[in-house]
Structure formats: structure tokens, C-alpha cells
Chains A and B, each alone.
Chain A
Amino acid sequence: MTETASPSPFASTADPLACVPDSPLCFQDVSLRFGARTLLDSISFTLRPGETRILLGLAGMGKSVLLKLANGLIRPDSGEIFLFGQSIATMPEPALLNLRRRTGMIFQESALFDSLTVRDNVAWQLIERGISNEVIDRRVHRALSFVDLDDTFSLYPPSLSGGMRRRVSIARAIIDKPDLILYDSPTGGLDPVTSHTINELVIKERDAYKTPAILVTHRLQDAFTMVTHRFDHDANAMVPLPRGSFDPLTSFMVLHESHLLFDGSTDELLSSKDPFLKDFLA
């Protein structure tokens, strides 16, 4: 059952018309099986420009897989996925590579290239495009300053802590100003203080650039930090929104037992009568 309330601006529908032309990402009846197990069954949703979707669910429900489907790292068994208006379910890999350059992805374990310096990791896409070293260095410094890690420029990833690696991977994802960001559990396995720093960065990115994003997490605390805070540029820190108000462009999806159990706003999530959701949020 997908609990969708019609007043929500983020209401999901399997109607093909739901994939509006300027939608950066749209899933239509996407299903995926791993062997005998159906991991995702008829998943449909639309991400609108400027919107951030938080994808919740228990571990092993296919949240990370959904994220990999979103930029074609995995192909669905059935259904359609539209990335920047183009169907990618059966798109050849070379064409997909070009399309993926418009997205930024932060992996669960950072996935930095261990044999390259932080500079080369962050600058990967720029180096691939043959941009001059001078320009690359300037842009890498700017991206590293955004995540407050400018002093790691010449270091190698193995010498960084888990939180620093996660921040470098955020810098790598945003350096080329992507049109869509996919966060795969950016705070997974981190201590509360470091998680706070990462959440702040995600909120900073959301509020500064308004880049559409999907954020996968199983930590409710992080999810609610996202909707109850905004980034204050003057204070250079995230600050809470007035009590009872939520970020209007951040909404929720909940994956449960292969289905998209919920797709809607924070208010709708909190007022849901679904037994699993009530239990999950308790």
C-alpha cells in the first residue's frame, strides 16, 4: 500500500504524466529482483526541481539499490526510469556515462580512490575533461572549503578519518555543480558529532544551491534534522526552523517489503495511521 495524500505537492502516481519534463528523476513501476527475491516492486515517484527526498526504510529494504537504479548503475527488470527526462532503463552504457556526469553521488563508505590524493579525487571529473591544473586547483580548493577540509588537499584518503572521507566525497560530488545529488547514508557509521557536521553540509548544499536530491538513511534523527533546520549563511551554521514548521521542499519516502509504503510530506508522515509507520517513527 502506498499512502499518498492528494494535497501533497509530492504526491506519487503511476500516471506517466507525473513525469513532468523538468523533473530530474522519475520512477515508473520499477521492479527489480535479485535471484528469487523481489527487492523492489512497482516503485513509482517523481522528484521535482529543487526538491529533496529522504528515503527511509529498514536495513536491507533496497534503499541503496534504488539509488543505484536512479543513475543507471543497476538496470531494472521492468518499469521506466527517467533521468533528466531521458529513459535510462535500457540506455547503452556510453550514453549513460554522459548523463551521469550531471549527477553527484555520495556512497555509503565514501568510495574514494585510495591511490589518489584528495585533490585528484575531488577533481576527478575536471581531470577527465582535460581542464588546466590551475583551474582545477582553484575549484578543488573552493569545493574543499565548502566542506571545511581545505588542509587535506595533498593527503591520501587512507590517512583521513571516516567523517573526513565522507566530507571529501561530498566535495567530489558537488565540484561540478550537479543537477541531481544522490546521498547514500552519508552519516552511516559515524559518531553523533561527525553526523551533525555531515547533516549541516547536506542542508548547506540544499539551501545554498537548491540542487534536487535523494537522501537515503535509516536514521530518523538525521532525517528530521533535515526537515527541521535551515542553513544560516551569516552564522555559517544550521539553525532550527520555528517550532512546528518544516522545510517545504523536503519530503519523505518509506520503503518497506519491496514497496514504497509512504510518499509524502513531513506532516503527512507524522499523522500517518499506518501501523508500520507508527511503529517505525515511535
Chain B
Amino acid sequence: MPSVLLTENFDKVVRRWLMTVQDYALFCWQTIANVFRTPHYWSDIFTQSDLIGVGSVPIVVLTGFFTGGVLALQSAASLAQFGAQAYTGRFVSLSMIRELAPVLTGLMVSGRNASGMASELGSMVVTEQIDAMRALGTDPMKKLVTPRMISTVVALFLLTVIADTLGTAGGASVAVFISHLDGAQYFSSAYQALVYSDIIQGLTKPLVFGFIIATIGCYKGMRTTGGTQGVGRSTTQAVVISSVLIIFSDFLISRVMLWLFPPL
């Protein structure tokens, strides 16, 4: 008897999970399709770009700089054991540009903006503002979701470039002022190590991560139920799910990129 109950519950959980995945897939499709449909809410796109992009610059600058710094600190100590401290720049730039800048920027923006989107849209749902918008003849997907998706994708791309730059600069600061390495050698090593596939890999990731952050944040917000408690639940779930998906998709993109551009 308990095994029957367990199977029934498992069946329900799997069915509900599949329904959610299907619903999310349709939500994403509608979000993308709306990019090519009128009306386009340009002012909302610019407002959201300011909130998401410009608003996230301080945390991305600090995260990028100190991550680059700590990479240089750790790698210089390890490389020194083999007399290879000159490779510090190479280590820092490859790590930052391929992996750490896109992933950490994605996680930071996810924590700041996926939660913001879920709570804002969730509050609008529970106070019937979304219904009011539909009653006034406006499509909330076009007005609220698509502008956030476009803004997040563009902003995360640019924020990752900032994190790449600041990470390399942070590594240089540590290498020069703490490890007492030659600055020119650091930058030369950092530059020569990079090939186009590294740049492509590092700049493809934020496009995917930005899409994940915006669609998960908006999806959780638009599907909020259960009043103010539900808003809190949606906010937490948006951050957790988008963060996990960022890490997971990072693995997939890295695998595909290594297949497309095998290391020489």
C-alpha cells in the first residue's frame, strides 16, 4: 500500500514538473515571438536597461575586480613553486574571460534582478494589476516581460565585458603591487593567451544567462499565487532556479564550445 501511494505521489510530482516545464517553454516562446510583434515598448526597454544594467554596475565592478585579484593571488603562489609566475596573467585572463566573469556576473545580476522582477510582477499579479492591464487591452507579456528580457540580455553582455576588464585589472594590481611581478609581462601574457574562441565563449554565455535571468524572474512573478506569502516564495524560487540554471547552462555551453573550438 505505501509503495502504491509513493508511486501515485511520484506520478503527480513528475506530471506537475513536466507541466511547469511545458508552461515555461511556451512562456519563453511567447517572449521571443513578441520581439517581432508590435507594439514595441521602447521606453520600457530603456527604463529596464537603466535599472538592470546601470544599477548593477557597482556590484559587477567590485565582484570582477576582487575575483581577478584573488585569482592572481592564488595562482601566483602556486605558479611560484614551479618558477612559472610569469604565467599569472595568462591564468587570470583565461579564467576570467572564459568562465568567471560571465558566471559571477550572471549570479550577481540574478540575485539582484531575477528577485526584483519576480517580486514586482508577483505583487502586480496579487493586487490584480496584471488583470487590470489585460482589461485595459494591453498584453502584459509585451509590456512587461519582453522589455525585461531584451534589457537583461543586452545589459548582461555589457556587464560581462566590464567584469572581464575589471577582473584583468584586479589581477594586474595584485600581480604588480603584492606579487611584485612586471606589469608589462602580466598584460603581455594575458593578451597572448587569448584566442577568438575564448572571447566567443565568454561573450556567448551572458546572452544565454541574461535570457535565463529575465524569463525565470518574470515567469515566477507572473505565475505567483497565494498573496504576499506567494510573492516571497516566487522571489526566492526565481533566484534559486535562475542561479542553478546559470551553472547548468554554463556547463552545457562550455561543452559545446570545446566541441566547436577544440583546444590546439
Contacts and interface: CB of A to CB of B under 8 A. Distances in A.
Contacts of A172: 136
Contacts of A105: 132, 135
B131 A68 contact: yes
B138 A107 contact: no
Interface in B130-167: 131-139
B137 A109 contact: no
A107 B137 contact: no
Interface stretch (A28-36, A94-102, A263-271): A94-102
B8 interface: no
A107 B127 CA distance: 10
B23 interface: no
Interface in B98-132: 124, 127-129, 131-132
Interface residues of A, number: 22
B134 A124 contact: no
Contact of B139 (A73, A93, A112, A125): A93
A128 interface: yes
Contact of B132 (A93, A98, A111, A128): A111
B129 A111 contact: yes
Nearest to B123: A114
Contacts of B133: 113
Interface in A87-127: 93-94, 97-98, 100-101, 103, 105, 107-109, 111-114, 124-125
A100 B131 CA distance: 11
Interface in A236-264: none
A154 B132 CA distance: 21
Interface string B31-44: 00000000100000
Interface string A190-215: 00000000000000000000000000
Given A73-B134, A97-B134, A100-B134, A111 B139 contact: no
Nearest to A100: B137
A125 B136 contact: yes
Contacts of A93: 139
Contact of B129 (A97, A103, A113, A128): A113
Interface string A158-197: 0000000000000010000000000000000000000000
A144 B91 CA distance: 65
Contacts of B138: 97, 124, 128
A68 B139 CA distance: 16
18 contacts: A71-B135, A93-B139, A94-B139, A97-B137, A100-B135, A105-B132, A105-B135, A107-B128, A111-B128, A111-B129, A111-B132, A112-B129, A112-B132, A113-B132, A113-B133, A125-B136, A128-B136, A128-B137
Interface of B: 39, 124, 127-129, 131-139
Interface of A: 68, 71, 73, 93-94, 97-98, 100-101, 103, 105, 107-109, 111-114, 124-125, 128, 172
Given A111-B132, A124-B138, 16 more contacts: A73-B131, A73-B134, A97-B137, A100-B134, A100-B137, A101-B136, A101-B137, A103-B135, A107-B128, A107-B135, A109-B127, A113-B124, A113-B132, A114-B127, A124-B136, A128-B137
